[in-house]
Amino acid sequence: MRRLKIQKLFFYLILFGMTIIYLGPFLFSVSISFNADKDVLTWPIKLIPEEWTLAHYQSVWRDLPFGQWLVNSVLITSIQTVSNVFFSALAGFAFARLRFPGKNIIFSMLLASLMIPGIILLVPKFIVLNEFRLINTYGGLILPGLVSVVNIFLMKQFFETIPKDLEEAALIDGCSYFRIFWQIFLPVSKPALAAVAIYTFQGSWNEFMWPVIVSVTNDMFTLPVGMAFLKNEFSVQWPLLMAGTILISLPTIAIFLIFQRYFVQGVASAGLKE
């Protein structure tokens, strides 16, 4: 009994420690964003500001093209999320359910492409888009993220768990394969689709590397890129940066809280049968 209690205590200590490691910096950011300029980098850290201020948040909207960056981010993220859900479901369905020549080879090649670190592809991707004159355009920002192999894989795995009988019953009822996909498979795949949507939204919203390479002028920046430019060679505008960062992270936090159930379900359903 005593041993069990000690064990439990030990586990809670570890959990508490991990929570501080993960949550600490975030809370610190929140604190900085509300702190008056003079208190930002004082020691000891003032987690609860002595002087509360919303000045930094106002400044983000007033002094930066935050609105334009927000429009860019929303546009890119929504197009990429919708297209990822649609295309990865479509491709996942084909790989899971259709018979066509070269299916296994194509799928293996897709999987193999996951082994190549994304960073290596930056230069070739840039060159290709440059040839198409897509640098510093929405096309250049959006096109490379329209569909991802990970999502295709996730959808394929999910579709494979749907009983074959369902597809056959639909065939006998008179469905074409596209209708089976659209009217039978998609409606029963909500958890997986939600997972794809959430992952893509999060990834796309927070994406930094590609937008920073492909956007040149200030008006094409996305939120993370814009924020990064607050950090320059000689100074960092910490309170402004933190206020912006907190604003940026609000949508992802909200989405996670609302769709938490789907999020967990989606991860679980990627490999497990219902």
Partner 1 sequence: MADVLLKNIQKRYDKDVLAVKGASVEIKDKEFVVLVGPSGCGKSTLLRMIAGLEEITAGELYIDDQLVNDLSPKDRDIAMVFQNYALYPHMTVYENMAFGLKLRKYKKSDIKQRVQEAADILGLREYLDRKPKAMSGGQRQRVAIGRALVRQPKVFLFDEPLSNLDAKLRVQMRMEIKKLHQRLQATMIYVTHDQVEAMTMGDKIVVLKDGEIQQVDSPMNLYHEPENKFVAGFIGSPASNFLHGKITQDTELAFQSKHCTISIPTDTSMGKRLNNHVNERVILGFRPEYLYDKAHEADKRLSIDLVAIIDVIEPIGSESYVYFHFADMPSDSFCFRSNSDIHYVPGQKLKLGIDLNRLRFFDEKTERRIK
Tokens at 213, concatenated: 């390479």
CA atoms in the 13 A half-sphere facing the CB of 30: 8
DSSP codes of every residue in 170-215: HHHHT--HHHIIIIIIHHHTHHHHHHHHHHHHHHHHH--HHHHHH-
- Shortest CB 182 distance to partner 1, Å: 12
Candidates 8-16, 170-178, 192-200, 243-251 — which segment interacts with partner 1 by CB under 8 A?
Answer: 170-178
- Contact assessment for residue 208 and residue 225, using Cβ atoms and an 8 Å cutoff: yes
177 is a contact residue toward partner 1 (CB under 8 A): no
Mark 184-213 with x for binding to partner 1 (rule: CB under 8 A) and - for no binding: x--xx-------------------------
Min separation Cβ 97 and partner 1, Å: 13
Give the range of 11-19, 33-41, 49-57, 165-173 binding partner 1 by CB under 8 A: 165-173
User: Can you tell me the distance from the alpha carbon of 194 to that of 196, in angstroms, rounded to the nearest whole number?
Assistant: 5
Q: How far is the CB of 185 from partner 1 (least distance, A)?
A: 10
* Residue selected from 179, 202, 228, 265 as contacting partner 1 according to rule CB under 8 A: 179
Q: 92 in helix, strand or coil?
A: helix
Is 97 a residue that touches partner 1 (CB under 8 A)? no
User: Does 98 participate in binding partner 1 (rule CB under 8 A)?
Assistant: no
Cα-flanking dihedrals φ and ψ of residue 231, to 5°? -100, 105
| 168 binds partner 1 per the rule CB under 8 A | yes
Should residue 160 be labelled a site residue for partner 1 when binding is judged by CB under 8 A? no
Question: Are the C-beta atoms of 201 and 255 separated by less than 8 Å?
Answer: yes
DSSP-derived letter for residue 135 is T
**Two tokens, residue 242:** 């933190």
Contact residues: partner 1, CB under 8 A:
163, 165-166, 168-175, 179, 184, 187-188
